[in-house]
Amino acid sequence: MKKTYQGQILIILMLALAIISIMLVMISKNVRRDTLDQIQSEQYEEYYSAVEQELLKIISGQSPSCPETATSCDIELTGLQHLDGLSKRMLYVFKDEIINFSDIVVGKDKSITIPLDNYRNNLKFSWKGEVAWVVNIDYKIDRTGEYKTSQSIYDNFDIFNPNSPISCLNFTPYGTNSFEFDIKQCLNQEEPFEPYTPISIRMKPLMRGSDSTELSLLEPTSGLPPQAKVIIATAEIDDDLGNSPAIQLELQIPMKDPTLEILDYALRTNKTVSKPKP
């Protein structure tokens, strides 16, 4: 009987040791996996940072490896840690110009400029959030060379309430966050007897409860010049852990920088502002 108990105790001890061994192996694997994940996370952050730094150089025109005139560039990433363990560290950049753009961020009381280059037909936009728009059409009188601005206001959310904004443009709404307008409808009314050349449109969002909106240009007709630069950067990095992280960043940058805020502020008068030819 005593031998039977001893055998049972031995079996129980062996089972306990087996369970403890399995637990130790699992803990060891988890620790190794957590350590590996932490290393990978730190490396990926470094890779993203390197890609962002190269994009900043490209945008500012300070990248010797990707000049402004280039439409595609192959850039070897430098400044990374453990370079000896990287069999590949390339950044492939593709640049293009587009007419339609989507979800470009426009800050509160900041302007986005839409170059026209004599385009005078319809434009359709959509946006996110409760926004009123101040829309300025900049144009030139062909005969005198005089520069003028016509301002219109679209307020579907009563942000200007109780005032009733004056608008030259006839806005056609599509739901609550989209409208379309015809440039020549307004300018023909402003200049019934003078030939003119539309130069640009400046759009300023005024909003409640937000610091920015996202603007999209939809369905332009032919003749409108490019409105945004698109830069797509794809990094291919083979690291010392046997991984190839997929990193791709895409930017949409307006073709024309916004005008000075003091000028935009001065034009919030619902009046025609003239700039005599020098």
Q: What is the DSSP string of 45-95?
A: HHHHHHHHHHHHHHHTT--TTS-TT-SEEEEE--S-SSGGG-SEEEEEEEE
Q: Which domain holds residue 156?
A: 68-278
Please indicate, yes or no, if residue 41 is contained in any of the structural domains.
no
Indicate the DSSP class of residue 216: E
Q: What is each CA distance from 90 to 75, 123, 124, 153, in whole angstroms? A: 6, 40, 39, 48
Question: pLDDT tens across 78-112, in order?
Answer: 766 655 556 677 889 999 999 999 999 998 888 99
Q: What is the pTM assigned to this prediction? A: 0.71
In a domain, 90, yes or no: yes
Residue 91 lies in a domain: yes
The model's confidence at residue 222, banded by pLDDT at 50, 70 and 90, is: confident
Is 59 among the domain residues?
Answer: no
Q: Is residue 6 part of a domain?
A: no
Domain-embedded: residue 49: no
267 pLDDT higher than 80:
no
Which range, of 172-176, 203-207, 272-276, averages the lowest pLDDT?
272-276
Task: Give φ, ψ of 55 to 5 degrees.
Answer: -65, -40
Neighbour count for residue 9 (Cβ, 10 Å): 10
Average pLDDT, the chain: 78
Is there a domain that residue 44 lies in?
no
Q: Determine the number of helices (DSSP H) and then strands (DSSP E) in the chain.
A: 3, 14
For 267, the token pair is: 């034009």
Residue 182: other Cβ atoms inside 10 A: 16
Cα atoms in the Cβ-side hemisphere of radius 13 Å centred on 143: 4
pLDDT tens figures, 30-55: 444 444 455 456 667 777 788 888 88
Q: How far apart are CA 73 and CA 94, in angstroms?
A: 7
Give domain status of residue 95, yes or no: yes
Q: In the chain, pLDDT over 70 holds for what percent of residues? A: 68
The total of structural domains in the chain comes to 1
